Structure 1
Amino acid sequence: MANQTKQLSALLISEGLKVTVVRTNADYRWSWVSNLKGLRALARLLPYVLELWRLAGNVDCMHVMANSGWSWQLYAAPAIWIGWIRKVPVVVNYRGGDAERYFKASMRWVAPSLNRASEIVVPSMFLVNVFDLFGFKAKIIPNIINLERFKFRSRNISDDRNLRLVVTRNLEKIYGIDTAIHAVAILKSTLPDVKIVIAGSGPLRDELVALTEALELSHSVEFAGKLEPEDVAKLYYEADIMLNPSTVDNMPNSVLEALACGLPVVTTNVGGIPFIVKDNESALIVKPNNPQMLADAILKLVNNSDLYHKLAVNGFAVAKQYGWVAVKEQWLGLYKELINAE
């Protein structure tokens, strides 16, 4: 969501719009506050709300990036209410892959804020369907892929079996990184030189490193940490297959960016992913938490170069739909519509 925010704001500025980004994680005014739980949240929340109130009197539209959980209550809801009070149109751009579970538990707290939004925008039909379950109409405007950075590159699957896999998700439970590691352990008997690079940071790093060591995969698994977008693109160019083993998902940019690079993808079938790619056409789709199925899908690509090239070409065709040229008129049109309606 942070990357999409940064990218969208830069692109809108390039179209001549004046954009101000209000960070929810701005630096603390006093560094010592960062060590005090509870107080540090308040130390960020108050300046955030005051900045929103000040800006709301000087803008034509507010674009609120929203997610589930405490992020909604602490940051999205205040922004919506401030816009509503100050009579500024508010676009709620919701991106939580875990939305249905969150709404079931918290809709009584979420609904009052949603009712004050001028428009609810989501990046996939998956989330349109989720909002519909709870009586809210949402509009689709897809994620944006930087096709200048993530460019198509033709490649062949490694004939020498030095297979290079890549995962670019945070090291959190919902992204199923452990499933990918177990799949590599399965592949070792057939492809002894297989290697996987895991690019991401998160709270499960120590646990995943321990799993790697327990499975005797220290020489096969590389934890690259969080990378800049330019380095992620380079990683995709060096890889043979991208894995997305997530258990909860919406419309992962990581998958779209890999497709844009012509990198075949093996992904789980959760959330909005089946709305993006089709099995055996633009990606291979497997069930979550199933290392054997994931390993089998990887071997299927290794042993079928025609399928490999088919996924690369069709995947790139999918990714092109998310370039700025295809998406910008949707955002600009919505802003104009809301502003003119005031």
Structure 2
Amino acid sequence: MILYIGNNVKSSNVTVMAQLSQLLRKEGYTVTVSSSKENQFLRLFEMLFSVLKWSKQVDYVLIDTYSTKNFYYAFLVSQLCRVLKLKYIPILHGGKLPTRLKSSPGLAKMIFNHSYINIAPSYYLKEAFEKENFSVKFIPNNIEVCKYELKKRMLFKPNLLFVRSFSKIYNPQLAIQVLQELKKDYPTASLCMVGPEKDGTLQECKELVNKLDLEDSVVFTGKLSKQAWHHLASEYDIFINPTDFDNTPISVIEAMALGLPVVSTNVGGMSYLIKNDIDGLLVEANNVLHMTNAVKSLIETPSKAIKIVEQARVKVEGFDWKEVKKEWLSVLAS
């Protein structure tokens, strides 16, 4: 039996957790997930209670581990697992997690030095943890590639798609500023922004759109299901990822699978996911001109965009569950 500890709140972005749980169940594992409580204290209580409740039956405890409040959840759950002598496996997430290793070295050692194994979904996090002398195994975030219909485009219009939660660290305002620059040369340019509110940034984005008179060119959809935004993606031609901090976001991997060329800031683990000018474009963080010029290069040189799309699809096929599950089954069978 596997107990998977993480944020399972319905209104949150739990794509990786939900997907991995479902896929492991298909492989014959019994997987219990905790917690779906919206209140943070109740969520923590349920996480800890779940460990106690299933301690006699569980073989492994998977713990989604991020850099902010969730880091303390992971710490408390991991230490309870130590007391109960349970094998726990932190799954590392978030571009700011390496910073947490330096700001909380003692807590980090208590979590990661005593785990059964630490799993990093990117080489960026793997290298960052190894520099701090933690043992880490790389297992990438996975998708079922067969479920992603590759749209083949011959031309690329200035229609941008952003898929991320509205959080300051993801800098969605930059996407709006890029649109404003694009409209100087492409008056019909548009931007669709998909994702839930996190910290007030969505309202700031709406105010910026109004200030720049872009109301007719920007659509805010709120959070959409995976199927809904995949369907929506066929109406757009370029995927934009303007973040200030990142690891290897699943939305970018999915965009690559769907045939959208990706323009992303070169932060965190993005250079480990995307090779610049090969399977995507990487630009300087928080630089409107650089990102705008990168988008223009795809519009003005469709042959370049087509090659990027083809190479990106080849890359993400390596993230297919048929390949990734071999690594997970090896860990869980050992």
Give the structure-1-normalised TM-score. 0.90
Query: Conserved in 2, the CA contact under 8 Å of 1:57 and 1:86?
Result: no
Equivalent of 2:168, from 156, 173, 180?
173
1:174, distance to aligned residue in structure 2 (A): 1.1
Show the counterpart of 1:199. Answer: 194
**TM-fit CA distance, 1:168:** 0.3
Deviation string, structure 1 residues 108-167 (Cα, Å, up to 9, x no partner):
222212222111111111001111232212110000113233221211224xx5x31100
2:10 is aligned to none
Contact between 2:75 and 2:107, CA under 8 Å: does it hold in 1? Answer: no
Deviations 1:33-79 (A, max 9, x none): xxxxxxx5433322331121111221111111111122111x21222
After TM superposition, which residue ranges in structure 1, 4 or more long, deviate above 4 angstroms? none
Work out whether residues 260 and 309 of structure 2, in 8 Å CA contact, stay in contact via their aligned partners in 1. yes
| 2:214 corresponds to 1:246 | no
In 2, Cα distance between the equivalents of 1:50 and 1:77?
A: 15
SS at match of 2:147: coil
| Contact persistence 2:47–2:77 (CA under 8 A) | no
Contact 2:90/2:117 (8 A) holds in 1? yes
Secondary structure of the structure 2 residue equivalent to 1:21? strand
Partner AA of 1:168 in structure 2? V
Q: 1:18 aligns with which of 2, 5, 30?
A: 30
> Equivalent of 2:327, from 327, 330, 339?
330
Offset at residue 101 of structure 1 (A): 1.8
Counterpart for residue 9 of structure 1: 21
Structure 1 contact 66–93 (Cα < 8 Å) conserved: yes
Deviation of the 1:271 alpha carbon:
0.8
Distance 1:56 1:151 in 2: 42
**Amino acid of the structure 2 residue aligned with 1:193:** T
Kindly state the Cα deviation for residue 313 of structure 1 after the two structures are TM-superposed.
Answer: 0.4
How do residues 22-171 of structure 1 correspond to structure 2 at under 5 angstroms?
Answer: 22-23=34-35, 25-26=36-37, 40-73=39-72, 75-158=73-156, 163-171=158-166
Q: Who is 1:189 aligned against?
A: 184
Amino-acid identity (%): 29
User: Where does the alignment leave 5 or more consecutive residues of structure 1 unmatched?
Assistant: 28-39, 338-342
Cα distance change of structure 1 residues 43 and 138 upon mapping to structure 2, 3 Å threshold: same
Which stretch of structure 1 is more off in the superposition, 290-299 or 82-91? Answer: 82-91
Please name the residue that 2:285 is paired with: 288
Per the alignment, in what secondary structure is the counterpart of residue 16 of structure 1? coil
For residues 265-309 of structure 1, give each alpha carbon's deviation from its aligned partner in whole angstroms, at most 9, with x where no partner exists.
111111111111111110011111011111111111111011011
Does the 8 Å CA contact 2:122/2:247 hold for their aligned counterparts? yes
Q: What is the RMSD of the two structures over their aligned residues, measured on CA atoms?
A: 1.4
Is contact 1:277–1:318 with CA below 8 Å preserved after alignment?
no
* Deviation at residue 224 of structure 1 after TM alignment: 1.0
Measure, in 2, the Cα distance between the counterparts of 1:290 and 1:226.
Answer: 26
Question: How far apart in 2 are the matches of 1:254 and 1:58?
Answer: 35
1:83 shift after superposition: 2.2
Q: Contact 2:34–2:46 at 8 Å: present in 1 too?
A: no
- Find out whether 1:299 has 2:289 as its counterpart: no
SS state of the match for residue 119, structure 2?
strand
Work out whether 1:310 is the aligned partner of 2:307. yes
Aligned to 1:275: 272
1:333 shift after superposition: 0.4
The letter for the 2-side match of 1:137 is S
For the residues of structure 2 that align with 1:48 and 1:284, how far apart are their CA atoms? 40
TM-score (norm 2): 0.92
Which stretch of the first structure deviates more once superposed, 179-188 or 83-92? Answer: 83-92
What per-residue deviation string (whole Å, max 9, x for no partner) do you get for residues 238-287 of structure 1? Answer: 21100011110001111110000111111111111111111111001111
Alpha-carbon spacing, 1:284–1:44, altered in 2? closer, same or farther (3 Å)? closer
Instruction: Between 47-56 and 248-257, report the one with greater CA deviation.
Output: 47-56
